[in-house]
Amino acid sequence: MRNILVILFALSVALSACTKKSQTPDGPSDIRVRNLTTTNFVNVVVNTGNETHNFGDIAASGESGYFRFETAYPDSEITLSIAGEEYTTGVPDNTYAVFLQQGKFTYEIWVSVPDQKKLDSRVIADAPLDK
C-alpha cells in the first residue's frame, strides 16, 4: 500500500511539472526598430530566425511600435529599402547565441557600408516585459 502511495505521489509531481507556462526565460520579447539615419526606411522586415515581422515604414530618426516575438536573438536579419534600393544586415550566425529573454528591446539600425547596401545594428534593453 505504501509503495502505491509513493508511486501516485511521484506521478502527480511529474505530471504537474509538465504544464506549459505562457512565458519562459527565453521569451517572449517585445522588439521595436529605431532608425538612426537621416533617410526614411521603407518596408522594414525583421527575421529573428524563428519569426518574421514587417514593421512597415520608419521615418528618419524615428522608431516603430513594439511587436512581440516568441523568441529573438540580439542579432537578427533586417532588410529594408532606402530610395528604392534594398539594404540588409545579412543573415547572422546565431549558432551559439543566447535569446534576448523576456523584456522590451530596440534594434537600432544604421547604414554601415552605403556602396554595399549594408546595414548594422545594436540591441538596447528598454524595460521589463509587461505581464
Residue 86's domain spans which residues?
A: 22-127
Q: Which of 21, 20, 23, 19 is nearest to 131 (CA)?
A: 23
pTM: 0.80
Give the C-alpha separation, 107 to 113, whole Å: 18
In a domain, 77, yes or no: yes
Q: Is residue 35 part of a domain?
A: yes
Q: How far is CA 74 from the centre of its chain?
A: 7
pLDDT in tens, 76-108: 999 999 999 999 999 999 999 999 999 999 999
Q: Give the CATH number for residue 81.
A: 2.60.40.2890
118 is a domain residue: yes
How far is residue 127 from each of residues 8, 17, 31, measured CA to CA in Å?
43, 30, 11
Domain count, the chain: 1
pLDDT at 16 over 90: no
Any domain includes 10:
no
Whether 12 maps to a domain, the answer reads no
> In terms of Cα–Cα distance, which of 43, 36, 103, 108 is closest to 76?
108
Residue 11 in any domain: the answer is no
Residue 15 lies in a domain: no
% of the chain residues with pLDDT over 70: 81
13, part of any domain: no
